[in-house]
């Protein structure tokens, strides 16, 4: 009888293409785990910037863009403050104000938490909540691309040549390396530990 029970447990499910139920459950959990990891990795990049807010709280959009956190770091590092502010304002015009973005992120996380707390747990609801997050983040990334492209398109030939040269320099000397060099100068300017620009600090002797 025990052998028959073991055989029944391990027997393939004809509706699953020959995959035993336990193995199929482990496979589904694995897919969900990978989906969660990928989505949260992307969410963290944008949510971190938006929920923290910009260092100088420039809600006009000058430094709110957070595009450095969604894959545009080297490009923004190769631009001057004026260029970054212009791109940031255009980005905010496309996607909404900082408070609107924070609200959307909070709403998405509420949906995810609700799906996790649901009893019985419905993996398809959880996955749908994660996909909804990812769809919005993709839209923000696309808006960032459009803002950057529009600004570069507005440059003169000389400005684009200069931008290209500075971008090559940033790629050859990543912000983390620049940060190490700045640390030897007292760490008053340059880049923070995440590779983002750090505002210049006042001299403590003043």
Beta bridge partners of residue 191, listed in sequence order = 197
What is the pLDDT at residue 30? 55
Q: Cα dist. 51→69, 116, 141 in Å? A: 12, 22, 17
| pLDDT score recorded for residue 121 | 93
pLDDT, position 21: 53
pTM of structure: 0.55
Structure tokens given for 65? 């863009």
Q: What is the block-wise mean pLDDT of the chain (206 residues), using blocks of 10 residues?
A: 48 50 54 51 47 41 42 81 88 86 88 93 93 89 90 96 93 62 39 40 48
pLDDT for 26 = 58
pLDDT of residue 130: 92
Q: What is the model's pLDDT at position 27?
A: 53
Structure confidence at residue 88 (pLDDT): 86
């Amino acid at each position: 009888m025990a052998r028959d029970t073991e055989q029944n447990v391990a027997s393939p499910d004809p509706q699953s293409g020959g995959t035993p139920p336990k193995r199929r459950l482990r496979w589904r959990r694995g897919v969900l785990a990978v989906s969660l990891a990928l989505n949260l990795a992307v969410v963290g990049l944008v949510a971190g910037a938006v929920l923290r807010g910009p260092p100088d709280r420039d809600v006009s959009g000058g430094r709110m863009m957070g595009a450095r956190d969604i894959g545009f770091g080297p490009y923004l590092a190769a631009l001057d403050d004026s260029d970054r502010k212009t791109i940031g304002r255009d980005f905010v015009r496309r996607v909404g104000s900082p408070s609107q973005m924070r609200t959307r992120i909070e709403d998405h996380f509420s949906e995810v938490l609700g799906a996790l707390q649901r009893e019985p747990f419905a993996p398809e609801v959880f996955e749908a909540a994660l996909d909804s997050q990812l769809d919005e983040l993709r839209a923000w990334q696309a808006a960032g691309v459009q803002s950057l492209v529009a600004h570069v398109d507005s440059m003169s030939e000389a400005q684009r040549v200069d931008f290209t040269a500075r971008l090559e320099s940033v790629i050859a000397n990543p912000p983390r390396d620049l940060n190490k060099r700045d640390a030897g100068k007292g760490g008053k300017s340059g880049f923070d530990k995440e590779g983002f620009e750090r505002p210049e600090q006042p001299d403590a002797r003043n």
